Every structure is written in C-alpha cells, then in structure tokens.
Structure 1
Amino acid sequence: MKGRKLLMIPGPIEFEPDVLQAMGIATNSHVAPDFIETFGNSLELMRTVWKSPKGQPFIISGTGTLAMDMAISNLIESGDSVLVISSGYFGIRFKSILECYGAEVTVLEAPTGDVVSLDTIEEALKSKHYKALTMTHVDTSTGVLVDPKPIAHLAKKYNTLSILDGVCSVAGEEINQDDWSIDIVLTASQKAIGVPPGLALLMASEKAIQVWENRKTPVGNYYANWKNWLPIMKAYEERRPSYFGTPPVNLIVALEVSLKIICKEGINKRIKRHRYLAEAFRLGIEALHLKMLPVSNALAAHTLSAIYYPEGVDGASFSAKMNASDIIIAGGLLADIKSTYFRIGHMGSVSPNDLLAVLGALERALIELGYPIESGKSLHAFQNAIITN
C-alpha cells in the first residue's frame, strides 16, 4: 500500500473505488428524477441481496443500532415477551433496546465463543409464548457465526417473530430471508454491503408488516416509526418524489453502486468467496498455533476473525507493530476479556492479496515481540489453501 494504511477491522472496511467516487459527486436534490431512480433501484436491489422478493426494504439515515431500534420499536409493545439469543456484545444490546420499550426479556446467553443450542431455544419457546426472538448472525465482538435457518424455523413453529441482526453478515454470509421465514433482517452500510458508515438497512417480511399494522398501542418512537417511513419507501420504489426526512443523497448513490457490484458478482458467488478466504485465513492463523475465540471452526464467521493474543504478547505492542506495517486491526470488544484478543475483518471487496499482507505483518509483529514462530508458515498455509480451492 502506498500513502495509506490497509483497514482490516470489522467495519468500516476497504471500499471499492467506484463506491468512494460516488460519495464525491456533486450532491443532487433528494426529489430529482435521477435520484428517485437511484433510491428506487437500491430498494429493489436489496431484495436480491437479502433473497427476499416479498420483503419490504427500508433505507434510513443511521447506524446498525438504529436498524435494531427500528425493528424493536415497530414490532414490540410494552409487556410483550421477547427471547434474546445472545452470542456476544450485540445480543445484550438487543436486551437494552427491548427494555426501553417495556418488553419482558428472557436472555439465553451462550458461553464465550459458543452458541445457544437448538434444544435450549426450543425448551424456552415451549415454556411460554414469546412475541419475538432476536438472534445475531455474526456477533462482531466474538466472531461467532450462528445458523439462523433452524432458529427461524423454530420461531415459525411457535408463532414467534424472528429478528436477525445481520450487521456483520448481510452480503458476506448465506441468508435466504424468505425461504427461511425470517421476519426481519437488518444491517448497516459499512460492513459487507460495502458503503461508508451512515445507512441503516432493514428488510421486513409481510408478516412483520401485518403485526405492525395490527399493534394495539402507538409506536413509541418518532424517527424510527414505519408510519413515517413506509410511504417514503413505497413512493421511491414507484419512482415518485416524497419527503419525511432528507435522505443522505451521496450515501444512497454509493449504495446503488455497491449493490450493483454485489449483484454483478452474484450473491451466491460472493458468499462462496467470503467462505473460502476465511477458511484459508484460519489455516494461516492455525499454522502459527494461535487460538481463535470461536470454540470450533464450524462456529467461526466468514466476515471476521477473533483471535487470542499468544501468551506473553502484549496487545498494545502488537497493534502498534501492525499499525507500523500499515495494517489497521481492531482490539477486543467483550469487556471482561477485551485485552486478551484482537479482531481482523475480511469482508466486502477483500482479496487474497489483502490477507497475505495481513498475515505477513502479523508474522513480523509476533517475531519482533519474541513469539517463537517460523517465518512464512502462515503465508504458506494460506497460499496452499487458495491455490487448491
């Protein structure tokens, strides 16, 4: 890299040049015909990426937390029972949001690096009626991958809405929203969707919209209320001007560019690329005898890796040496163990060359800090996996 560092955190990520160029064009009117076309097309492209031809897409100025807030505030009323399936920091965030709206929350929390078993989830669903359950597809704090398909099927079996936090998974992990009967899939722009921070993206099922329409009490949120936003989404998709709040014009122009790039690659091919790069990267990490935070490779995300520092290696010194090699990584996020691990994002437009650069810098940092490894070992393992894929 010349002149700048390689950003390898779990979001924001490295963005495609065409996406960044779209951010820099002269800002258009939010009711100009060409912007209306861009917004409407972006909504339609979301259905392709989410695999939800029947879903209702929302594009809102905000973060992934706003998307979580939007899902909860529109579907949950005071006194509703909700089951939170937590595999890290962002499962607990769901709990905090739910409590703001008066929900009665039950949390099923997995041990660090693990997932809650399906049997445990079904036992909870059998014990009482829950209006909804929440799950985190990839928890950014742990790098743990949850399989949402069987959980969504259990939710449907027990007449419970399913809400999937796909902030670190949409466009990087396999999702078939309609086929899997997931009621809400939400994300943010700065992850595998490949757009700078600032957009909350959400897809609601027909059932979710019906539940919202039939709620007994008003939505306790003004900005996130679907009453205000649904007419806007419908208008843009019908190529008509409309207004509630001024949309972030350049971000939405960039979103259309990125969604077109994703669809040109093909969502299935894109998911496969994320998978084989992540698997090859893990082989490189394993070659250095480093331990991953997920308890097994089957539970390791394909969009980021959470890795424990080896014994005797100081995290701050390690990060400083990676930074000196022009690689930016993320530290730990879980409060009780945050100083014991680091995180590397590998999603969006990530390439084998990016990950070779990361592994090379990682080896140098560890050797300089006195960790006994054989130089080139992780690179060899990674290259072999890529070549034989």
Structure 2
Amino acid sequence: MTENILLIPGPVVISNKVQQALGTGSVSHTSDEFVAVFSSVLKKTRQVFKAGESSQPLVLAGSGTLGWDIAASNLIETGDKVLVLSTGFFSDSFAECLQVHGAHVDKMTAPLGGVVPVSDLRAALTPGGYKVITITHVDTSTGVMNDVKEICKAVKHVSPETLIVVDGVCSVGCEKLEFEAWGIDYALSASQKALGAPPGLSISMLSERAVSVAFSQKSQSCFYTSLKRWIPIMQNYESRKASYFATPAVQLINALNVALDEILEHGLEERIAKHWTTSDWFKNKVTEELGLELVSANARVSAHGLTAIYVKNPPEVISALKNMGIVISGGLHKDIQGEYIRVGHMGESACNDSLQHIQSCFDALKALEL
C-alpha cells in the first residue's frame, strides 16, 4: 500500500535520518549518552532561535500549546493586563489560555487575511499599560504572518516594560526570527512543523528578563509548567549534568537533535530561503495558473510554511486529493471555515531539491479543474 503524501500544516514529512533517530533503542534519561544528546539539542536550539548565551532554551514533552500554558502560568498573575494581536484561530486560542490563567486580556483583531497595522498598535499602547503582548508570528489558520521585528520596535519604543511573547509554532525554522536582536522575551514553538521532527516536543526560548519575572512570581498555580522547577533542569542538562524533575521524551529528543543538525548543516539562512522559494513557487502557480485566491491579503503578510486557498466545496477537494494520495487540511477560521483549504510546505517537503511533494499537490489541484 502506497503511503499518502502528508501536506498538512504539521505534522510534516520527516527525513529518513530523523525517522531512524526516532527508532533508536531506549536509554536512561540520566545516562551519559542521553545527557550529551540533550545538551546538544539545547545549544542548537539557541542557534535556531538566534539567541545568545544569556537566553534560556526549554525543551519539554508536550505540544506547541504547552508553550501557551508556560507563558500564562509563569509570566502573568491574576489580573495582569495582556494585549493579544489576533490574526486567526490560534491567536484567539492563546487569548483564551491567558484568560484561563486569570489574565485581563484585550484583543486587537486584524481584518480577515490581514494584520493589525503597527500604527494602530502604537496608538493602543501606553507606557506600562500591559504586562505582556502576544504575537502569533504565523497564524496557521489563515496563513497570515505578522512583522514581528516592527511590532517589537513599536513595543520597545512606547512601552519597554511590556514583555514580548511570540508564538512561533508555525514560523521557527521557516521564517526570519531573531530572538535576541529583536528583544523578544519568550518565544515558543513545537517539533512537528518547520523544525522537521516528530510531534511531541514543546520548544521555547526565554530572555533573562522573562526568567527574572518567572522566578519572582508571588504565587503560582502550576506544577509541570513551572519554570522555577524546569530551568535548573535545563541548565544542568546543557552543562552535561544528569538531572530530574519529570522524564524527558528520550527518543523524540534524539530525533530533534538530528533534525536540528539538518537545519544547521548548510546554515539556518539557507533553510529559510528554501522554504521561501518553495512557498513563492506554489503560491504563484496556484494564483496565476489556477486563478485561485489566497486567504492572506498580499505577499507581505503571507507565511512561507503553508498556503491557505479559497476553493469551492473544500471537503470535496480534500477528499479528491486524498484519493490521489495527498493529504491536506481544511479551514479553521470561524468566519470562513467552510470556504478554504490549507496546504503545508515545511521541512522535508519544502527543502528537498526535487520539490516532488509540492509539485504533486499542485498537479493534483490542477487536475481537479478548480
């Protein structure tokens, strides 16, 4: 039986080397062998986030969503004001998570397919008005990408006390992100998208300021997500000292180590450039040859790890492609949920020189005569 080509916006197709690494035998999580691998992963994570030695990497068993809980339970306390820039389903879900943890959340909602203008953000900010601002770098529900660099500049200028939190689940590894240079305080991601590893790991980076805030919290209602517990563990592992709070996902971390090697082998910039080239090729073919419209309003706000496309009768399109051996996703945005499809192109499918997977997807869409 032929395997389907997986082109959803995560999990993604993983390389043979990463697959082999996932299948290695079990070892103790305190063994010298595993401690060396985990130390390597934490150091490489800094490189991918473009973070310096003063920043703190964090790799935990869990999905990208766990990163929301980490931010909410460690960086805010009940009643703290948080500003959420909303560009779709995942931005709104992050806001809901913050509210569950007791934050007072204000949302600035972008027009469908667009982003909140930075000028509007500047007008909404006041010095010290918000404890935290959250930015979803790429909202996977719409394929819309925020200009994190410019947003960070605006926040630093108007309200430098505000902690900047970036959801990079669908951006780290395929979009430009400079944690330290842009002054981000907490960035979260996950293993199963552009990092090209299997699902199951929450991957984050914290600034010194974020660590200080987490450690100075007066009260904390979490246990597993407590940075007071986890940061010493991460520091020990990076220094090659066995440590324990909760059992790490040994095989997943081994697979992530290989995936990070593949990203860094030819340089992060080249990896990002390959994603952009693939994305531009696919988007141009879909819009120019097939005459279809994208959910993202224009190229300036279009993400490079997926493409959201308006089509008639998305369930039929998804079913037809599956019959051709290609698996894509439907829409998530509440206002247009039944009006579009989403095609993921991250990791192996985006960076393989032949682009066989994404070419097959385009050919299949073309054959449907949409």
Short-chain TM bin: over 0.9
Given residue 328 of structure 2, which amino acid in structure 1 is its aligned partner?
A: I
Decide whether the 8 Å contact of 2:164 with 2:185 is kept in 1. yes
For the residue of structure 1 that corresponds to 2:252, the secondary structure is helix
CA distance in 1, matches of 2:85, 2:317: 33
Q: Report the equivalent of 1:211.
A: 213
The residue that corresponds to 1:140 in the other structure is 140
- TM-superposed deviation, 1:335: 2.4
Equivalent residue number for residue 252 of structure 2: 251
1:91 maps to 2:91: yes
Q: Tell me which residue corresponds to 2:362.
A: 359
Deviations 1:308-361, CA, capped at 9 Å, x for gaps: 00xxx3222211110111110000011231110000000112232221111011
Deviation of 1:210 after TM superposition, in Å, equals 1.4
TM-score if structure 2 supplies the norm length?
0.96
- Counterparts of 1:38 and 1:305 in 2: how far apart (Å)? 34
Structure 1: any 5+ residue segments left out of the alignment?
372-389
Deviation at 1:111, TM superposition (A): 1.2
Partner of 1:386: none
Of residues 297, 307, 311 in structure 1, which corresponds to 2:309?
307
Secondary structure of 1:203's partner? strand
Which residue of structure 2 aligns with residue 153 of structure 1?
A: 153
Q: Distance in 2 between matches of 1:75 and 1:129?
A: 15
| Secondary structure at the counterpart of residue 323 of structure 1 | helix
Is the CA contact 2:149–2:182 (under 8 Å) kept in the aligned structure 1?
A: yes
Q: Partners of 1:194 and 1:273 in 2: how far apart?
A: 14
Residue of structure 2 equivalent to 1:3:
2
CA distance in 1, matches of 2:318, 2:82: 39
* 8 Å Cα contact 2:11-2:198 kept in structure 1: yes
Structure 1 CA distance for aligned equivalents of residues 82 and 29 of structure 2: 38
Deviation of the 1:27 alpha carbon: 1.0
Q: Please name the residue that 1:14 is paired with.
A: 13
**Cα deviations by residue, 1:164-215 (Å, 9 ceiling, x for unpaired):** 0000000010011100111111101101111111000000011111122222
Q: Output aligned runs, 1:31-110, within 5 Å.
A: 31-53=30-52, 54-110=54-110
Structure 2 stretches of 5 or more lacking a match?
Answer: none
2: CA distance, partners of 1:10 / 1:70: 23
Query: Which letter does structure 2 place at the counterpart of 1:202?
Result: S
Alpha-carbon distance in structure 1 between the residues aligned to 2:365 and 2:139: 23
**Aligned in 2, Cα 1:42/1:128: closer, same or farther, shift over 3 Å?**
closer
Q: What is aligned with 1:288?
A: 290
Shift of 1:103: 1.1
Give CA-to-partner distance per residue, 1:136-165, whole Å, 9 cap, x none: 000000000111011112222312110000
Listed one character per residue, the Cα deviations across residues 21-68 of structure 1 (whole Å, up to 9, x for unaligned) are 111111111011010000011000000000001310000000111011
Report the counterpart of residue 123 of structure 2 in structure 1: 123
- Tell me what 1:338 maps to: 337
Aligned to 1:274: 275
TM-superposed CA distance for 1:108, in Å, is: 0.2
Partners of 2:211 and 2:119 lie apart in 1 by 29
Provide the TM-score with structure 1 as the length reference: 0.91
Q: Give the drift of 1:19.
A: 0.6
Please name the residue that 1:23 is paired with: 22
Question: How far apart are residue 124 of structure 1 and its match?
Answer: 1.1
CA distance in 2, matches of 1:363, 1:161: 46
1:94-114 C-alpha deviation (Å, 9 max, x unpaired):
211111121111100111101
Aligned amino acid, residue 174 of structure 2? G
Matching residue's letter, 2:31:
A
How far apart, in 1, do the equivalents of 2:201 and 2:219 lie?
25
Does structure 1 residue 165 correspond to structure 2 residue 167?
A: yes
Deviations 1:272-322 (A, max 9, x none): 11111111111100121100001111111000000000xxx3222211110
Provide the residue aligned with 2:261 in structure 1.
260
Q: Which amino acid aligns with 1:152?
A: C
Matched residue SS, 1:185: strand
Aligned residues: percent identity?
40
SS state of the match for residue 338, structure 2?
A: helix
Alignment match, 2:197: 195
Which secondary structure state, in structure 2, belongs to the residue aligned with residue 339 of structure 1? coil
Deviation at 1:127, TM superposition (A): 7.6
Superposed counterparts of 1:208-247, under 5 Å = 208-215=210-217, 217-247=218-248
- Tell me how far apart the structure 2 counterparts of residues 200 and 33 of structure 1 sit (CA, whole Å): 23
For residues 19 and 128 of structure 1, the distance between their equivalents in structure 2, rounded to whole angstroms, comes to 45
State the aligned residue count. 362
- Give the CA deviation at 1:128: 6.2
